[in-house]
Structure 1
């Protein structure tokens, strides 16, 4: 046994030192990946801080491998190489994330599904240079390790020398060397110095530890059955004095702009000049220059703006089909006769937006699955990724849709996409405009050069701003414009461009514009997204006699209309999923345990006041306890929206199958893969159970509903198959695969003319779809039009030689 331990120690010590060298050299890649924006000074300081953490990782690996050495020497050595390689890959990935976003990855990683993570990674893109760099670092470690094993250094290393080295490593690992937040004036400088792996691992431990504490301790502060946020609603009409009363109930139009931080728009914006239309609109509106988002990412925008709802653990919408009973502007106004619409160019499954909106009974949702063929998806990046349809197309299509709808008044909600990674403005002219604005910025040469790194971001801001300008020009020609109130804000401040303070991430403009406005006003008072709903309900109740519930679970008050800097805020903010570490109380801000005074333009100055800091920490913990309890125990509201999601139910036998296969622990894509495999193994009943579980979690996972329909069609249960396919087409009228399935069913039933009609109907929205083209050819052949069928089949096979329907058909068409 002693010989085993000696052998492993002598192997691991040189390898560990090599790991430490390669691990710290990752700083070089971080600096180069950051371009001109990342400071060499702070990267060099971070390099010094990296060593103690690298040594702490070494202690973990060595200790683990020494235990394995008691069982098998070879396994222990191999595990050492594997663990060090894995740690290097993780460290590289975390640095790459930071180089793209400008913020280190935190425990919010655990708040997203694998599907959502895949979409986000796809948006950022991975270049060849990134892959080559990773291979070089891993190759340096593995190649260096092989050379070390053959070198004299390893051969001459004694056990005593190895132990001394381990002792020195341990001493260094436990040195209290870690950057202190208060040492850095700017948030970006602190983030640069941080070791990204140390930050991620530390946050992850805190996330799981705090989650466990909330489970065991959080509910003790409440009497079972109570509703922590539910109280008598104060419908104070703060907006009424600024708006004329229209003869009819007003239309409400929300424009929630991706990443629109205050740093980019309005007078005095740090990166101003790239939203000229919104800048001018702010001067004609009620404008809160010190607005805040409740959340640091998009997941919190809809629940906060439309519902003033608590966050729970990872954001309200993260609970999916398990969201508690609640009401929002959508359900409240729908009950008063409003038509409700949501317009978005992307996939509404992301962050469970579709579930949230369907729960409220939204009347219509525009999303990437129901755009007509006349619209083209936004230009993809080099990896083929695109979020969906560009903002200008969303605005144009929305007006076409509204032209077909006669109901009024309306609540229309827009969520934009184009100011998001990978920051590719759909129209090339905006890149030249961004160049021109940079030259005219008034920045010195060094600053201009540094921020030229973000020209793509500024191009997208210019594009979206122009799309909004066009939208307003068209809307002004509509008869309902004169009675419309527009609410414009950012979902959060976009992340990649460096942020000065911990509050910058939340700092967004809040703009209310309307032809009913008596005169524009600019407010210096702080306001938050969750103030918007109470303010609008107060206006509608006082000016238009609309009735709303006596009690509501608002997490904040209403919009403050003071012209000077002031604040009535008293609530927590959620920076990332699973991270509620920020609290605003009046003009004081607690973040990561540090206390700040909020200054004009939402600057931060450190404050030393132990009593106040302790009070805010207690408030923060109480808010988290209340929030998790209310959301996870269905204690948000006593009244449901009236549109509970229609979920599949399961028999006792099916529940046993679900538990036995751990289906509740799988993500939607994993469930779909499992269901497909079961279906192709002809275990269709089992496949249907999996698909029903999936659809309870993601009802707009159209491919799952189509597969469910096909499993019934394969058993000749055509009516049931038609039922589920009709649901897909109702949700996404242009979804090509639904028409493929319908065409197949009619073909199997012998209704060849109807099969042809369905394929042609699908092609109206998807003219380049090879599956629909092949099915059209099959329908033509079956209805006697063989020459047309042959021509189309050959065209399909020329571009898609593996198309199964076309391959089968070409054999039948052969003379």
Structure 2
């Protein structure tokens, strides 16, 4: 009673002084906890993820990111603290400390997520259904006892420090007022973003020092309050001229009716693939193999992490091989609409539109219109990410996922009661055993999506491929020190070796079929596996494309850049040139078609989407825009930062033009006229 009474007799100035002093003391402990969590995160990642950069340099950057988060929240917390303090001082302390505890819990959880997946968790969390989240968590290892214990220990330490340390901090109140004032300046200054720029050797290191809570809440804010103020008129006569400052080979389409069909344009009739083929009289089978996580970083000759795919490397020398190829997305949700439909992303990926996906033409329904039988094979659950819905809307003939496998043989090992489904060996066997191969059968378009090289990277022949992993490191002439670093990712590399071995077995078995000689195979990755640290931002999208067929009359290795969205147009033009397919003259393809120039160049404008809510990458010519940063893409697909405001403005304008068009689709716009869709899907 006496304490409350004495507080009531304090003047407003004295209350303000006391509140400011106590708030600053607790806030300094909050900053200390942020530093402590960053220190623990760096130590932990040094142990489990073989961090290569200087530890103290990383700690310096990490602490700076913590300071920026601390400053962003300072003024808001101060205002609420004062309000609570005027009513009841103890309640103010308790509420603020509780807030910091929750902040520490969230930060710890986000750090554990990053350490396991090497992905920053942002607003993409809100783009998945509860069922998808549960499946991903379960199949990826779920919440292990060790992880839960680590989490509880860290949280207990934070709570103990928070309730014990503030009482020992006695600082002048005038010093405390600087904190909320600095917070206001930081919050409203345009230089905040510049202060948060990180210059480190690898994308992994940059992500490591990023404050995970700041990334999550910033991403979430822009998810619920997206920016839509694009300042480019996509209908202006000089829109194509937006590329004048870029590579002269980069040109735009001739659009037909952008206000109603923003991506509808006159199609090119350039067939670049026919010169490489001696095609048979009968239409060829097309087999597209989408390999989970197959990144160029560890695939084939010249891979900077080493060549972990000896069979694919050998196959690429007998093929048309694009070594500088890009996936359209950083996760699997983007691969089907990109490679089959060359489609835009809408708000959360094209598949994220669900039942609102507008009608569109694709490799599936157009080839079906021209006498092909279409099929999709997946060892997992095809309803994940709305893949099944997309395929059904594209008139797929046969859809085989894990529910259509008749035995448990080939099921991937369970983790906490979950499994992604069937391994690659079972998937390929299912395809070979169920697809017709006789000469009287319809021509086939088969799409296969693998799952064995997905987190948690547990396979049925685990020990055999652990042994192969050790053998491969010796074959690659790794030093003992380098071998030790790579063992931190033994499961990932073992799954890659398994994937490569099963592809070899698939081709050996396919060669025994009578239709082998009349089949065109395409092999690519859906995206680069993120669970092995990445060197650059573009690395996430850098995948190989191998086009192999017994009908090839010559092979070639292309250094020119193309992407998933270029596949469908080129396959259709090849078939149209040789078999007079009935195809529309005007299309909505995002891609212009594969570039077969052997030298390094890029004639495409390539939008990329890393996660369902992270659409900030755009490639034009040899430039890569990543948010507010501009990079030059080098011949080995490395990147270097570019400080060229004029060039960056040109590319940003081009990207904003794409985003305006994309927003029309998000808001209910159409891809193609209904009459065109009906004509080619009836």
Query: Structure 1's 537 and 113: CA in aligned 2 closer, same or farther, altered over 3 A?
Result: same
TM-superposed deviation, 1:213: 4.2
Which of residues 109, 125, 129 is equivalent to 2:125?
109
C-alpha contact (below 8 Å) 2:380/2:422 kept by paired residues: yes
TM-superposed deviation, 1:555: 0.9
Alignment partner, residue 36 of structure 2: 25
| Larger RCO (CA within 8 A; separation ≥ 6) | 2
C-alpha contact (below 8 Å) 2:20/2:176 kept by paired residues: no
Alignment of 1:388-537 (within 5 A): 388-402=421-435, 407-428=441-462, 429-537=464-572
TM-superposed deviation, 1:632: 2.9
Alignment of 1:227-266 (within 5 A): 227-266=261-300
Alignment partner, residue 337 of structure 2: 303
Which of residues 65, 86, 98 is equivalent to 2:114?
98
1:355 paired with 2:389, answer yes
TM-superposed deviation, 1:401: 2.1
TM-superposed deviation, 1:306: 0.2
TM-score, structure 1 as length reference: 0.73
Alignment of 1:66-145 (within 5 A): 66-69=82-85, 76-125=92-141, 126-145=143-162
Alignment partner, residue 50 of structure 2: 37
Alignment partner, residue 765 of structure 1: none
Cα distance in structure 1, aligned partners of 2:612 and 2:680: 25
Query: Structure 1's 323 and 441: CA in aligned 2 closer, same or farther, altered over 3 A?
Result: same
C-alpha contact (below 8 Å) 1:42/1:192 kept by paired residues: no
Cα distance in structure 2, aligned partners of 1:534 and 1:453: 41
TM-superposed deviation, 1:293: 0.9
C-alpha contact (below 8 Å) 1:296/1:576 kept by paired residues: yes
Cα distance in structure 1, aligned partners of 2:262 and 2:69: 42
User: Cα RMSD (Å) of the superposition?
Assistant: 2.9
Question: Which is worse superposed, 500-509 or 394-403?
Answer: 394-403
After superposition, give the CA deviation of every residue in 1:344-375 in whole Å (9 maximum; x if it has no partner): 01111211101100101111111122211253
Larger CA Rg, structure 1 vs 2: 1
C-alpha contact (below 8 Å) 2:622/2:633 kept by paired residues: yes
Query: Structure 1's 142 and 610: CA in aligned 2 closer, same or farther, altered over 3 A?
Result: closer
Question: Which is worse superposed, 524-533 or 124-133?
Answer: 124-133
SS at 1:385's partner residue?
A: coil
1:554 paired with 2:572, answer no
Cα distance in structure 2, aligned partners of 1:643 and 1:358: 18
SS at 2:471's partner residue?
A: helix
Question: Which is worse superposed, 423-432 or 351-360?
Answer: 423-432
Cα distance in structure 2, aligned partners of 1:172 and 1:369: 55
Query: Structure 1's 52 and 566: CA in aligned 2 closer, same or farther, altered over 3 A?
Result: closer
SS at 1:365's partner residue?
A: strand
Cα distance in structure 2, aligned partners of 1:300 and 1:523: 24
TM-superposed deviation, 1:469: 1.1
TM-superposed deviation, 1:252: 0.6
TM-superposed deviation, 1:619: 0.3
Cα distance in structure 2, aligned partners of 1:53 and 1:631: 32
C-alpha contact (below 8 Å) 2:122/2:215 kept by paired residues: yes
Q: Which runs of 5+ in 1 are unaligned?
A: 646-815
TM-score, structure 2 as length reference: 0.87
After superposition, give the CA deviation of every residue in 1:574-621 in whole Å (9 maximum; x if it has no partner): 222122212211122222222222221212233333222111000011
Cα distance in structure 1, aligned partners of 2:529 and 2:409: 27
Which of residues 363, 366, 375 is equivalent to 1:332?
366
TM-superposed deviation, 1:68: 4.0
C-alpha contact (below 8 Å) 1:274/1:458 kept by paired residues: yes
Cα distance in structure 1, aligned partners of 2:16 and 2:576: 77
C-alpha contact (below 8 Å) 1:571/1:623 kept by paired residues: no
Alignment of 1:153-302 (within 5 A): 153=168, 161-162=172-173, 164-168=175-179, 170-171=181-182, 181=197, 183-211=199-227, 213=229, 225-302=259-336
1:322 paired with 2:351, answer no
Cα distance in structure 1, aligned partners of 2:145 and 2:605: 47
Cα distance in structure 2, aligned partners of 1:220 and 1:515: 46
After superposition, give the CA deviation of every residue in 1:300-358 in whole Å (9 maximum; x if it has no partner): 10001001111111111100011011111111111112111110011112111011001
TM-superposed deviation, 1:167: 2.6
Cα distance in structure 2, aligned partners of 1:433 and 1:202: 43
C-alpha contact (below 8 Å) 2:31/2:67 kept by paired residues: yes
Alignment partner, residue 63 of structure 2: 48
Cα distance in structure 2, aligned partners of 1:374 and 1:164: 67
Which of residues 590, 601, 606 is equivalent to 2:641?
606
TM-superposed deviation, 1:384: 2.6
SS at 1:498's partner residue?
A: coil
Cα distance in structure 1, aligned partners of 2:41 and 2:630: 30
TM-superposed deviation, 1:72: 5.6
SS at 2:484's partner residue?
A: helix
Alignment partner, residue 629 of structure 1: 664
Q: How many residues align?
A: 637
